[in-house]
């Protein structure tokens, strides 16, 4: 048990106090690429069996800062972008009004935003702030289960690395894959991200206590220059997206 009351299950790596003489502040500063020293209690160090390195665990204050300053805003922005894209697409399908050049930009911008956003949340590098790093560096309950849930995003992360962030070389990338993502793949990734985000939120000292994430957006049909008959097809001046 830590001084702040947090506990770790027996299946997880045992927490141990920092060894005398270890420069904890220096470790944390290097991990955050030159960031300032952190106040409060000294952090603890646990072995990371996957990478065979030592992981500096986040303090409660840092966990709240990551969640409120980075993770929640990023997740909400990701889902709102998805909702707006689907609403605009639905209006276009119902009215039969398409603008090919603009549509091309919208679709490519949506795909790039979604894949890179998911890739950022799942980034496991130690010099980044991400959902996966937050899982690794906190004593959240059922950590292996949550990490496994986040693995649902691996396919998207690989395609983002192969086709958007980089021009992947198939002869040198053993996991290089063709572009074959579907809308279902994105939906599954969104659901996994929402579940993990809410689990992380419940395990901190200042949770938002969300039960479900509802990216509610609305559109004014007048923005599409629709006729009265076309507007009536939707039954209302706005539309909403489903709960995730």
pTM given for the model: 0.69
- In a domain, residue 238? The reply is no
- In a domain, residue 5? The reply is yes
Do residues 90 and 15 both lie within one domain? no
Do residues 36 and 138 both lie within one domain? no
Do residues 101 and 183 both lie within one domain? yes
Do residues 66 and 51 both lie within one domain? no
Do residues 29 and 106 both lie within one domain? no
- In a domain, residue 172? The reply is yes
Give me the pLDDT at residue 237, please: 42
Do residues 90 and 52 both lie within one domain? no
Domain that holds residue 117: 60-232
Do residues 116 and 207 both lie within one domain? yes
CB 56 within 8 A of CB 133: no
Do residues 75 and 105 both lie within one domain? yes
- In a domain, residue 244? The reply is no
- In a domain, residue 128? The reply is yes
Residue ranges of alpha helices (H) inside 173-227 are: 183-202
Do residues 214 and 144 both lie within one domain? yes
Cβ neighbours of residue 141 closer than 8 Å, sequence gap 6 or more: 9, 199, 203
Give me the pLDDT at residue 73, please: 94
- In a domain, residue 47? The reply is yes
What is the number of structural domains in the chain? 2
Do residues 39 and 84 both lie within one domain? no
Do residues 51 and 148 both lie within one domain? no
CB 42 within 8 A of CB 137: no
- In a domain, residue 79? The reply is yes
Give me the pLDDT at residue 12, please: 37
Give me the pLDDT at residue 101, please: 74
Do residues 145 and 166 both lie within one domain? yes
Give 16's DSSP letter.
Answer: B
Tokens of 69: 């300053």
Tokens 């395609």 locate to 159
Query: Can you give the pLDDT of all 244 residues of the chain as single tens digits?
Result: 434 444 433 333 333 333 333 344 444 454 444 433 333 333 444 445 444 456 789 999 999 999 999 999 999 999 999 988 888 887 777 777 666 777 788 888 999 999 999 999 999 999 999 999 999 999 888 899 999 999 999 989 988 888 888 887 888 777 776 777 888 999 999 999 999 999 999 999 999 888 777 776 666 666 666 677 766 666 544 444 444 4
């Amino acid at each position: 048990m830590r001084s702040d009351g947090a506990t770790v299950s027996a299946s997880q790596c045992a927490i141990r106090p920092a060894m005398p003489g270890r420069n904890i502040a220096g470790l944390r500063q290097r991990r955050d690429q030159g960031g300032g020293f952190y106040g409060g209690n000294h952090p603890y160090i646990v072995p990371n069996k996957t990478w065979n390195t030592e992981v500096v665990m986040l303090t409660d204050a840092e966990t709240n800062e990551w969640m409120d300053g980075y993770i929640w805003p990023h997740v909400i922005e990701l889902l709102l972008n998805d909702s707006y894209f689907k609403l605009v697409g639905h209006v276009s399908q119902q009215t039969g009004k398409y603008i090919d050049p603009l549509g091309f930009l919208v679709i490519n911008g949506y795909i790039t935003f979604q894949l890179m956003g998911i890739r950022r949340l799942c980034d496991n590098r130690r010099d980044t702030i991400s959902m996966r790093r937050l899982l690794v560096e906190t004593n959240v309950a059922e950590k292996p289960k949550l990490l496994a849930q986040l693995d649902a995003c691996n396919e998207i992360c690989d395609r983002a690395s192969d086709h958007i962030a980089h021009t992947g070389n198939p002869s040198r990338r053993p996991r290089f894959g063709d572009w074959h993502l579907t809308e279902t793949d994105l939906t599954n990734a969104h659901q996994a991200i929402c579940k993990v985000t809410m689990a992380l939120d419940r395990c901190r000292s200042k949770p938002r206590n969300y039960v479900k994430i509802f990216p509610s957006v609305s559109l004014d049909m007048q923005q599409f220059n629709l006729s009265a008959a076309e507007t009536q097809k939707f039954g209302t001046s706005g539309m909403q997206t489903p709960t995730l």
